[in-house]
């Protein structure tokens, strides 16, 4: 800044010599500014520190390093002051023998029936006393964060075991979503309280768990609304509280982002409906949405690497100072106070789970049914298909496999009172086998039928046996879930109907086809006393509902072809590559409903010569 000042001074001198005082007056302010800037720079350089030695307040200075080390040593010292305790001791359970365990659990379940504070359970120790958590009161939802190795899984295990040993399964249920390969809840999923357990090893199974959350929310909403109650707690017989526990939430969010709205709904509506969410993640920043955080009342932060992550959960950076040598040390914040504690770990988690199961049997409690089932199996042998008992006086149906509602599996009942049935699919998908299964069911039910098709050696036409004025009819169902497929007895004399099973009927349904068999086939399609079950390679000549009232479509994977066949967009969106490649996997389209089904494995239609109607 000295050179500009000298230049301004020389210019001012020249203006003065020439007598140009007006211009000289204009130069004076610039000259003063240059002089002032030069003086300020000189003063700042004089007082500047030597950059060869860091300043005292620099992050690299010895003083700063000493202060940081002092804070870390202080944090380690305070963490070391927190006593360690096992979960059994905090619960007051005598674990000398297995009998002592389940008897102690029975006593606590009995006390929980009369105590309003049964939801307050111990999960660890502070430096002075036992640390208890009341999720319905403090939450109703919780967010747990911590880096790898900080003790998140142990905390979740102890928390859930503590609640299970305090509250019976008719008042508390668990759904576990483990996106760490299933290792986090390898013991907890055997609790009698558990109504659902999935891992990231089977994404389709995890999708069902997220769907059932929405279904259960709506069910409880209708239950409370029907009795004009503000919450399910006001009901005389409220449903069990449901605790949804998610480990490695960030992995769930990355793999199933389209289902996050269901968890947001749970967070916003769960309090009054008795449903709670416990989310565990490594990094709460950017992974948990603001809509979810707005409804989460309890934050638990174990060791994290970034002070911002700690501040996000507990309002300051204390959790970032926890030593890696102190796993299990955490801070909780419920909006009012911060508590430092060390989470307890069970000595024998398997013994506690076994004790809960024995206590359930001793009290005669029925284990809660699963909220959702596994996806459709890749193959369905006859001995794994559901039993269907026939009852008269109801719509006719035959069990041909399992159907998937998206949440649960149930027997797939093929209606016989809605007209003809078209089975459409490419070769090798199971059309002939499905017709063989239908033929087997008709034969077991005592219903005469005609069968037409082709064998590897040539065509065949098995005529129906002679029948009199009356013909047995197929009643509909009463289902159970065990034993082989059985169609039971039938009610004779109610409906006179003829059945014709036709394999590879593409040539017969072609309007340009001629011949006696083609004319007979098209005539049977128009006859209301005929039920024609026929298979096609494509829907090219199929007209709905003129030709049939029920369709079974084996998807091709080509969206345009499948949509032309009648498969709804919602069903197509849920079909995976595995579904397309699985033999026997089809879509049943009947009156007002569409379902993905898995057909029973059986013999193809051309091997039915041994069947007797």
Residues tagged in the binding site annotation: 146-153
Strands 338-343 and 120-125: antiparallel
CA–CA gap between residue 92 and residue 151 (Å, rounded)? 23
Provide the 8-state DSSP code for 399: E
CA–CA gap between residue 25 and residue 47 (Å, rounded)? 35
| Binding region for ATP | 146-153
How many other CB atoms sit within 10 Å of the CB of residue 47?
Answer: 6
Contact by Cβ (8 Å): 194, 242 = no
Contact by Cβ (8 Å): 141, 279 = yes
Closest alpha carbon to 567 in 577, 554, 576: 554
Helix (H) or strand (E) holding 451: strand 449-455
How many other CB atoms sit within 10 Å of the CB of residue 553?
Answer: 23
Q: Find tokens 């800044």 and name the residue.
A: 1
Task: Say how many Å lie between the first and final Cα of the chain, rounded.
Answer: 111
Report cis status (omega within 30 of 0) of the bond before 545. Answer: yes
| Per-residue b or e along 233-242, where b marks 16 or more CB atoms closer than 10 Å to that residue's CB | eeeeebbbbb
Closest alpha carbon to 435 in 534, 334, 336, 545: 534
Residues 6+ away with beta carbon under 8 Å from 104: 91, 92, 93, 94, 355
Closest alpha carbon to 247 in 213, 197, 202, 207: 197
Gyration radius of the chain's alpha carbons: 37
Which pair of tokens denotes residue 342? 């060390």
CA–CA gap between residue 256 and residue 198 (Å, rounded)? 13
Report the SS3 class of residue 144: strand
CA–CA gap between residue 284 and residue 143 (Å, rounded)? 8
Torsion 129-130-133-137 (CA) sign = negative
Helix (H) or strand (E) holding 570: helix 569-574
Contact by Cβ (8 Å): 124, 343 = yes
CA–CA gap between residue 203 and residue 378 (Å, rounded)? 15
CA–CA gap between residue 549 and residue 571 (Å, rounded)? 19
Instruction: Give me the DSSP letters along 42-83.
Output: HHHHHHPPPTTS--TTSTTSHHHHHHHHHHHHHHHHHHHHSP
CA–CA gap between residue 375 and residue 296 (Å, rounded)? 31
Closest alpha carbon to 537 in 441, 454, 439: 454
């Amino acid at each position: 800044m000295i050179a500009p000042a000298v230049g301004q001074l020389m210019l001012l001198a020249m203006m003065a010599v020439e007598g140009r005082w007006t211009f000289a007056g204009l130069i004076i302010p610039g000259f003063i500014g240059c002089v002032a800037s030069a003086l300020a720079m000189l003063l700042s350089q004089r007082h500047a520190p030597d950059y060869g030695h860091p300043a005292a307040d620099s992050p690299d200075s010895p003083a700063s390093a000493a202060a940081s080390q002092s804070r870390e040593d202080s944090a380690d010292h305070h963490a070391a002051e927190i006593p360690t305790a096992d979960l059994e001791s905090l619960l007051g359970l005598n674990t000398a023998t297995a009998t002592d365990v389940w008897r102690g659990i029975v006593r606590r379940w009995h006390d929980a029936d009369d105590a309003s504070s049964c939801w307050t359970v111990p999960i660890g120790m502070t430096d002075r006393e036992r640390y208890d958590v009341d999720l319905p009161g403090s939450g109703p939802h919780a967010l747990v964060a911590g880096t790898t190795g900080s003790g998140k899984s142990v905390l979740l295990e102890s928390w859930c075991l503590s609640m299970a040993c305090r509250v019976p399964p008719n008042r508390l249920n668990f759904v576990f979503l483990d996106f760490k390969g299933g290792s986090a809840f390898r013991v907890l999923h055997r609790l009698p309280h558990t109504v659902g357990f999935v891992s990231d090893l089977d994404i389709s199974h995890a999708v069902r768990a997220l769907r059932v959350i929405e279904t259960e929310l709506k069910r409880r909403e209708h239950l409370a609304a029907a009795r004009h109650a503000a919450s399910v707690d006001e009901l005389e017989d409220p449903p069990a509280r449901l605790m949804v526990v998610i480990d490695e939430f960030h992995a769930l969010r990355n793999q199933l982002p389209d289902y996050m709205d269901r968890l947001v709904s749970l967070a916003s509506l769960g309090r009054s409906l008795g449903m709670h969410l416990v989310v565990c993640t490594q990094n709460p920043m950017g992974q948990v949405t603001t809509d979810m955080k707005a409804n989460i009342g309890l934050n638990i932060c174990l060791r994290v690497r970034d002070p911002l992550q700690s501040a996000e959960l507990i309002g300051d950076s204390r959790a970032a100072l926890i030593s890696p040598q102190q796993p299990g040390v955490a801070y909780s914040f419920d909006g009012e106070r911060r508590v430092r504690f060390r989470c307890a770990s069970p000595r024998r988690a398997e013994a506690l789970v076994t004790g809960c199961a024995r206590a359930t049997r001793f009290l005669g409690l029925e284990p809660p049914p699963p909220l959702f089932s596994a996806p459709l199996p890749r193959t369905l042998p006859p001995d794994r298909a559901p039993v269907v008992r026939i009852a008269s006086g109801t719509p006719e149906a035959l069990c041909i496999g399992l159907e998937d509602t998206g949440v649960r599996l149930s027997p797939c009942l093929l209606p016989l009172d809605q007209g003809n049935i078209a089975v459409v699919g490419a070769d090798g998908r199971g059309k002939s086998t499905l017709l063989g299964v239908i033929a087997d069911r008709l034969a077991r039910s005592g219903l005469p039928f005609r069968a037409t098709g082709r064998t590897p050696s040539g065509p065949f036409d098995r005529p129906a046996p002679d029948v009199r004025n009356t013909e047995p009819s197929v009643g509909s169902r009463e289902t159970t879930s065990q034993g082989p497929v059985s169609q039971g007895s039938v009610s004779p004399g109610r409906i006179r109907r003829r059945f014709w099973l036709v394999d590879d009927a593409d040539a017969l349904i072609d309007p340009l086809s001629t011949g006696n068999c083609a004319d007979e086939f098209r005539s049977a399609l128009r006859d209301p006393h005929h039920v024609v079950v026929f298979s096609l390679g494509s829907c090219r000549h199929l007209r709905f509902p003129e030709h049939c009232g029920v369709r079974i479509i084996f998807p091709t994977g080509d969206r345009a072809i499948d949509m032309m066949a009648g498969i709804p967009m919602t069903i197509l969106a849920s079909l995976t590559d595995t579904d397309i490649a699985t033999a026997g996997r089809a879509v049943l389209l009947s009156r007002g409903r569409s379902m993905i089904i898995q057909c029973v494995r059986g013999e193809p239609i051309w091997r039915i010569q041994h069947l007797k109607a």
